[in-house]
A and B are shown apart, each in its own frame.
Chain A
Amino acid sequence: MYCTRALFLLLACLASAHLSAQDVGFWQPQIALNYKVSENYTHNFSVENRNFILRDNTAELSVRHIDFNHFSKWSIGSGQSLVLGVKYRFREAFDGDSDELRLTQQYNAANRKNVVRFGHRVRAEQRIFSERTIHRFRYRFALDLPLEGEELDIGESYFVASVESVSSFGKGSKPVHDQRFTAQLGWKLSAKAKLQLGLEHRLEQSNIAVEHTTFLLTSAVFSL
């Protein structure tokens, strides 16, 4: 428990400070399920939604969209994997904007150095809306580590942080570049269940007119 309480308080303070300084803040809860299909092949299913909690300096709670996701992962080497994913975003029913079908292709390589695990993730996405398609490319560097020993045991906490660059290209529109910064605290409740709580800050359209957006992230991750 050396760092957990301190990190939790820091995240809570950052969340409060960030959200009060933003025009827009979101709360994004997620529930995810992972299971092995075979030795090399695993499935991930998740449901997440995004809710406005702050808009134009006014607190509110309204749904922006709901996502249903699936990823299929093939382990191809020591700490390496290839993933294909599909997402359907229901948005039109909530704020009138187009629903989205998203196809994802992902490569990941993770390596553990002493206690800290480092991961590189590269993604290509095709975001298909009713009247346009956007191609997006992402690179994320992440690190995670246990906070109460050198291995993550049941009942112990862990920390995950990442920085991601996102570039979007669409016909008839300027390329858009975003930067995302994420920090999360997690708890391993059992061999099969983890809870995570964190913050994500995005610098959106950083190459045009930067917009700051903050997300409060809550996740329940189950691994069967």
Chain B
Amino acid sequence: MMARNLLIFLLVGGSVFGQTKREREYRIDLEEFPSSSYKILQPYLEDAKRIRFYKEEDGEKQSFEAKFKKGRLKYSVEFDSTGQLEDVEFIIKENDFPSDVLRSVEAYLSNEFKKHRIKKMQQQYFNDSQGPAKTLRNAFQNLLIPELRYELIVNGRGKGPWRSFELLFDSEGNHISTRTIVTPKYDHVLY
């Protein structure tokens, strides 16, 4: 009887405290940031404020991110575990969108959701064939090139309940992809 109760307790406890794949993002010091990545980024950190470095671990995949504010824009520059540039993003507002692009994006959102609220907008430059130097230059000069992407975080309600989504649009405002975001729990604060 005692052994059975202990087994039940361990199984229940294990299901509460057990975990499978662990994703983690945490702040690191400059010393832990890849030196090769910092070397590429350093010229763009002049006059930058609130420079912070993060490491992200997603199972076996690792990446590094530098976040800072320069001018009025908040930048995020991501590198992979080998120090190669992945992408550059910065937060924008509605009036930073070209008007025809904004119209296209708004039309998609109105069609997709009964009600929606845009929580965050980012302009993205991926490091593809152009190489890291050109990607960084394009991003920090805020060039409107065909390769750029717009990422929106939207709270929206379709037929179902309110959810958070991450939507990707191309440089002309055409929808590319949508991903549902798991919002952080609030039950430890609410009551």
Which residues of A pack against B, CB within 8 Å? 2, 32, 34, 39-40, 42, 44, 46, 69, 71, 73, 75, 77-79, 81, 83, 85, 108, 110, 112, 117, 119, 121, 142, 144, 148-156, 160, 186, 189-194, 196, 219, 221-223
Task: Report whether B184 and A153 are in contact in the complex, using a CB–CB cutoff of 8 Å.
Answer: no
Q: Which secondary structure characterizes the binding site on chain A? A: strand
Binds A, one of B11-19, B37-45, B97-105, B129-137: B11-19
| Interface-lining segment among B22-30, B78-86, B141-149, B167-175 | B22-30
| Bound Cα distance from A192 to B18, whole angstroms | 9
A142: min CB distance to chain B, Å? 6
Query: Is B190 positioned at the interface, with any CB of A under 8 Å from its CB?
Result: yes
Contact B161 A46 (CB under 8 A): no
* Among candidates B19, B26, B161, B189, residue contacting A160 with C-beta atoms closer than 8 Å: B189
B160 with A39: CB separation less than 8 A: yes
Residues of chain A contacted by B189 (CB below 8 angstroms)? 110, 117, 119, 142, 144, 160
Cβ contact of A153, chosen from B26, B157, B161, cutoff 8 A:
B26
Q: Is the pair A46, B54 in contact by a Cβ cutoff of 8 Å? A: no
Contacts of B22 in A (CB 8 A): 153-154
A78 and B25 form a contact (CB under 8 A): no
Q: What's the Cα separation between A64 and B191 when bound, in Å?
A: 21
A-B contacts, 13 of them at CB < 8 A, read A46-B191, A71-B191, A77-B162, A79-B155, A149-B24, A150-B54, A151-B184, A153-B23, A186-B188, A190-B17, A190-B19, A193-B17, A223-B188
Do A154 and B19 have beta carbons less than 8 Å apart?
yes
Chain A residues with CB under 8 Å of B17's CB are 189-190, 192-193
Contact yes or no, B24 A153, CB < 8 A: yes
Residues 73-123 of B contacting A (Cβ, < 8 Å): 117, 119
